[in-house]
Every structure is written in C-alpha cells, then in structure tokens.
Chains A and B, each alone.
Chain A
Amino acid sequence: GPFGLGREALPEEVAAWNLDIAPDGTGLPEGSGTAEDGEMLFSESCAACHGEFAEGVGRWPVLAGGFGTLDRMDPVKTVGSYWPYLSTVYDYVRRSMPFGAAQTMSDDDVYALTAYILYSNSIMEYDEVLSNETFSEIEMPNADGFIVDNREEAEAHFWKDEPCMENCKDAPVEITMRATILDVTPEETAAEEAAASEEAAAEDTAAEAPAEETEVAMAEPDPALVEEGEGVFRKCKACHKVGEGARNGTGPALNGIVGHPAGAVEGFRYSNAMQDAAADGLVWTPEELGAFLAKPRDYMRGTKMSFVGLRDEEEIKAVIAYLSTFE
C-alpha cells in the first residue's frame, strides 16, 4: 500500500481468524451432527445457563419456544421465534460459546448443538442430520419478520420546521406514572452503600454466632468422587467461583461452604429468603445442601439462585464432595 506498513497475512492466519459465516452459508466448515449427538453436549456445556430444554435459566437467554409472542407485550425472542438466519446460530456458537470456554468445540459438535437447538424449537427431527450440505434446506420461522430501518419515512413527522413553544398540549398536564412506585433503582450514594454493607456485616456476625456449635465434622472425601464433582461443577461455574482468590459473582464464592452456615459469605447480597434461613440458623450440611441442589427453588422459595437443579443423586454427592475440598 501507499505507506508500505504492515505485512501480508499468511493463508493459515486468515484461516484461523476468518470464521464468520454469511446467511448464504459462505464460510461454513465441512461437518455434520444430529440433535441426538448434541443432547448430551448441550446438557454438559449449555444447560447451566440455557436450561436442559433450552428454556433458559434466570436471566440467561431462552433459546427455544416463544412462537407467536412477537406482537405481544414482552415477546419471547428465541432462535426459533426470532432469529432470521441459521448461519447466525452456527457462527455464534462456534466462535463465542460456551460462555467462558469459547472456541473449544469441534465443528461437528457445533453442528450437533445447532441441530439440538433447532430440535428444541421443533424445526428439526431428533435424528435428522445437519451438515454444510443440508444447511440451506432449513427454514427459519421468522425469516420474513424483518424490515430495513425505515425511520426516515415512518417517522418523517419528527422532522419539523419549528418545534412547538406555546400551548403544546390539549389538556392540563398530569403525572400518569412514577418511578418510585416500582422501587427498582439501585441505592444511590456511597454512604448508603457503606451503611448497607455494615448492616449486612452485622447480620453475618449474627448468623455466624450459632454456627460454631453446629459446625459439622467432615470425613475426607473419596478422590474419585471429587474428580467427578469437578466435572459436575462446570454447570455452576458461570455463577460460582471456588479456589484461591475466588470472588463473588452472580452467586457467592463457595470456598468452605460445606458444613458452614447459610447466607454468610462476606460481601454477597443474598435474597431475603436466604437471609431469613440464615437467621433461623440454617447450616449447609451435606444433607441440606443436597436437598437445595436437587431443586433450589422448591427447597427455598425466593432464592436468587436460578439454577434448575441437579437431577442425579450421584452428581449431587459428587459436587458436594468436590466443594468440601475447598477451605
């Protein structure tokens, strides 16, 4: 070029980064997969946030369903109900998912996961093969649901020769809605926040007091079970950290959680439900923790933990064994 700066990109460098896939399929790698292949993968790598059936967990994205809701209040926008191009699903999953471990899936795995998401939306059959060959045969339900920005025509009346200055409304102005009624605004000043955290700290102390008596003696966990638990914990990792330097995230850090009082991790803002349970002296014995992990929202109505729960008794045991290794 004119400045002679930079160097020519090598073909393997372009290949490594040039991953985007266009709506017409340009850029799709060779490969294939079915929903059947994708089901376990989805359960292991995606379900912690998106739900076992792609129904979404908490505020994480819902991937399935929502058909017929786009013209209603609070439409449910999913791959099935909203996304106009299948290429976007493959492109996004391959480059950016799973959350925290992007670009770790093989191309075949991404075909299988894409097929599973389509199956969850009743767009593909369970054993139907999705591949670079069959890709263009899939029809996305909302493909025709988009128009190009038409503000300059549809909103032409917002361009005015002269804005109104006098008598701009027909009737006297009245307040029709107030934000304070909802009361969803975060606390405003640092002083208030400090006061709140002092209060929380005081509550923590209160909750800890009975704990010393009730602390549970733990047997050394089985190493094989711990290893299995580490695998299970992948479902928890997006929200919970453990190990050296673990900090609170969406959920509290979990070092030392097994056998310790509930609702007592410093600096974490618990739900009222968890605070009440802590005040009542709840301690996370393996039994209590197991019951919580099986069905969090049934165990504790109003918990902030949006995880659907671990269905398998063995997984629960394993993850508790794993957690018990962190002091």
Chain B
Amino acid sequence: APDPLITEVQPWASGLGEGVDATPYGLPIKYEDDVVRRNVDWLTADTISSINFTPIHALDGTITPQGCAFERHHSGAIELRKEDYRLMINGLVDTPLVFTYADLERFPREIHTYFLECAANTGMEWAGAQLNGAQFTHGMIHNMEYSGVPLRTLLEEAGLDTAGDLSDKWIYVEGADASSNGRSIPMEKALDDVLVAFKANGEALRKEHGYPVRLVVPGWEGNMWVKWLRRIEVTDQPIESREETSKYTDTLADGISRKWTWVMDAKSVITSPSPQMPITHGAGPLVITGMAWSGRGAITRVDVSLDGGMTWQPARLGKAGDSKALTRFYLDIDWDGSEMLIQSRATDETGYVQPTKDALREVRGENSIYHNNCIQTWHVKENGEAENVEVS
C-alpha cells in the first residue's frame, strides 16, 4: 500500500517550523533525548564524588560532543569564572609566575585531537561480564579537539631551562576544586605533548570538564588531566598524592601493586550492534561499527570476529588513525540472521595487539580495577538483541 507519509501532505510540509533564535544555544532534537550520559548509582556512595558514562553506543564518527561526554568529579563540578581564574607556576623555576585567563590567550596556541579515558573504564568487568551495554562497559571515554598552550611554553616563560638536564625532575599539577586531585608527571612527558587547554571542539570547556582551563595529557589516564587547573609545580620528586597511591594503582594477584601505570593501552569496542543497540531490521546488510584507541600512538588496524575470536577479518577504518585519538571502524556484512559472538581487536603503531580478557587475567589477576583493555564480546541473538557475555 502507498505510504501515507508520502501520499498525504504532512503538517511539517504545510505549516511552519520554529524561527531562528528559538534556542539561542541549541540542544539535540527531542527525539534524541535518550542519547545522554548515565551513571550507575550502586558504583559510588554519592554523585558528588562519582562518574557517569558517555552514550558511545549511539554516537558515530570520532568527536564526542561535550554535552554527553562523561564526567568524573572528586568533589563536584565547580563554577569558576574566567575573571577569578589564576594559574600559578612555582617550585624549581627561575621566577614563580601567576597567569590570568587573559594571559593564557596571548601565548601561541595549538590544536590537537585526543581521547581521554578513565583508567577505571571497563573496570567493573574484571571478574566477569557485568554491565549490559557499551555505554556502561566502555563509556568512561571521550575524544575532543583541544585548543591550548603547550605546557612547555609556560614552563619556559617561568625560566625553566628546557635544554638542560631535567631527567630527574617532575611536575606536580593540581586543580582549584576541593579535591585538588593532584598528580605528578615526569618532566619528559610534561615537555613532550602536554597542553594547557581552554577550548574543546571549538568552544569553551564545559563546567564539568574543567572550565575555564584543564590539563590535557595525551594517551595517559584521565585522572591526570587535571580540571580547573590552578597550579603547576616543578619538583625533584613525585609527590605520591592520594590519586597516585591509594587510587590509580593496579594490584596484581600476588598483592603487589603497579604504580605509575599512566599509559592507556590499545583498546576497542563494537558500539553497534550492542546491548543498547539491537539489530531491528532482520537479516541482510548490517553495519558493524565501533571505536579503537591507543595511548601509545595511532591505531593502525582493527580486526572483527563474528565467532567469538576463532576467526577474524580486518575492519575498515573510517579514516586513518590519529595518534592518541579515537579511530572509527566499520565492518559491512550481509547478516544471515544467525547468532553471532562479535568482538573487535585493535592494533596500534607500536605493534601492541589488544589482548583477550583471559590473557590479561593471566598476567594481572582480577583485582586490578584499572587498565582493563580486554577484547569485549557481545552475543547477538537471532532476534537481533545483544548481550554482554564472556566466552571460553
């Protein structure tokens, strides 16, 4: 029968839509109102010191819109005006300096796109398949284009001799919020690619991501990307703050813990189909898509398995991978409507291949909490529904 959506004149084809300025700063159309951050309320005691998850299952491309990029606060998201913002550089520099926000905008700027992944992403899955959705298993990640000033530039402004021997020097960075969330970073990284950023995806940072200024520490765990950045101290030793001793350390099966596990290893996940994104169209052409990233460099290859890891085929990268940024991959198949155990496996430019969960557990046990970059399995059923499973 003819489709009335075509044969009958629809209201939107006859009447008028909304005028300009109806929403001076727009939100997504109401039909997309399920594409939002969500938290898992049993994970933490309170939403003030907590985390939520990016709806990665519903996104495509590589850039994460700020409005749905996950949040992680230790003492809540503060409101700090640009006018009240101060950044101090002190410690082992010639002249301790204070910058205003306006000062920062006068230094030569760079733009770079990087992923930020919380070290605890996928942490709930160490002991077994637990949360049923890519948003919850892999959503502590976002990927944005940052504008900012290289940290090296600011350190040189304070008189740090970056040509000298700084191999035993560190920086200690902290935020202006009550948690301060201080972290120590070796000088080599600080001078390499760390940015002091004030714009993301072209506009001001959001409050929840550290407005007006945050640190960007490419490829390293998200906790080090200090928000509401207020101080950078040059030191001759790591401070060993709460966030780098009692947290963000990885306990192995024998009770010994790794510290300074800063780099995020290569990882990937299929975002659709997935538990929140069932196949609704039945057999036939099917786009399998997901994202891959590595803190060690660019993603060079992603393979996809439809049979739980017995056989693999190369996926197509949406575009060539950028270093320390999300890469989108696709596998376009003709689905026959039978069950699948779908997995993705990333390889980065250093030759690191994303391991299976069993391979990770063999080295680390099940108590590490952080840095779980295992291969994820979704069981896609004949009716198109998908479930988070573990396989032999």
Which residues does B use to contact A, with CB under 8 Å? 33-34, 36, 38-49, 74-75, 88-91, 95-100, 103, 106-107, 127-133, 136, 156-159, 172, 174, 178-180, 182, 230-231, 233, 235, 237-242, 245-246, 249, 251, 253-263, 265, 275-276, 301, 303, 305, 307-313, 341, 345, 347, 350-355, 359, 363, 366-367, 379, 387-392
Task: Give the interface centre of B262, B263, B351 by most chain A CB atoms within 10 Å.
Answer: B351
A-B contact list, 21 entries, CB within 8 Å:
A3-B107, A6-B100, A14-B88, A18-B90, A21-B239, A22-B240, A49-B45, A88-B245, A91-B242, A96-B74, A159-B351, A163-B312, A173-B310, A173-B391, A177-B128, A178-B379, A184-B40, A186-B38, A186-B40, A238-B46, A250-B46
> Which of B132, B262, B305 interacts with A185 by CB under 8 Å?
B132
Residues of chain A within 8 A of B388, CB atoms compared: 178-180
Q: Which residue of A lies closest to B392 (CB)?
A: A174
Closest 9 CB pairs of A and B: A1-B157, A71-B255, A173-B308, A70-B255, A179-B388, A9-B96, A102-B178, A59-B45, A6-B97
Which residues does A use to contact B, with CB under 8 Å? 1-3, 5-9, 13-14, 17-18, 20-24, 26, 49, 58-60, 70-71, 73-75, 77, 79, 82-85, 87-88, 91-92, 95-96, 99-100, 102-103, 145-151, 154-155, 158-161, 163-169, 171-180, 182, 184-186, 188-191, 238-239, 249-250, 269, 306
Task: Give the interface centre of B107, B237, B262, B353 by most chain A CB atoms within 10 Å.
Answer: B353
> Which of A146, A163, A179 interacts with B256 by CB under 8 Å?
A146
Residues of chain A within 8 A of B257, CB atoms compared: 70, 82, 145-147
Q: Which residue of A lies closest to B128 (CB)?
A: A177
A191 CB to closest chain B CB (Å) equals 7
Residues of chain A within 8 A of B95, CB atoms compared: 1, 8
Residues of chain A within 8 A of B136, CB atoms compared: 185-186
CB–CB B389/A22 < 8 A: no
CB–CB A2/B156 < 8 A: yes
CB–CB A20/B156 < 8 A: no
CB–CB A184/B157 < 8 A: no
Binding site of B, secondary structure by majority: helix, strand, loop or mixed?
loop
CB–CB B45/A60 < 8 A: yes
> Which of B156, B240, B301, B387 interacts with A180 by CB under 8 Å?
B387
B384 CB to closest chain A CB (Å) equals 15
CB–CB B240/A87 < 8 A: yes
- Known pairs A92-B242, A149-B260, A179-B389; A102 contacts B75 (CB<8 A): yes
Q: A92-B241, A159-B350, A173-B308 are in contact. List 14 more A-B contacts (CB 8 A).
A: A1-B156, A2-B157, A17-B88, A22-B237, A59-B43, A70-B251, A85-B240, A96-B179, A168-B309, A173-B392, A175-B341, A175-B391, A188-B34, A238-B46
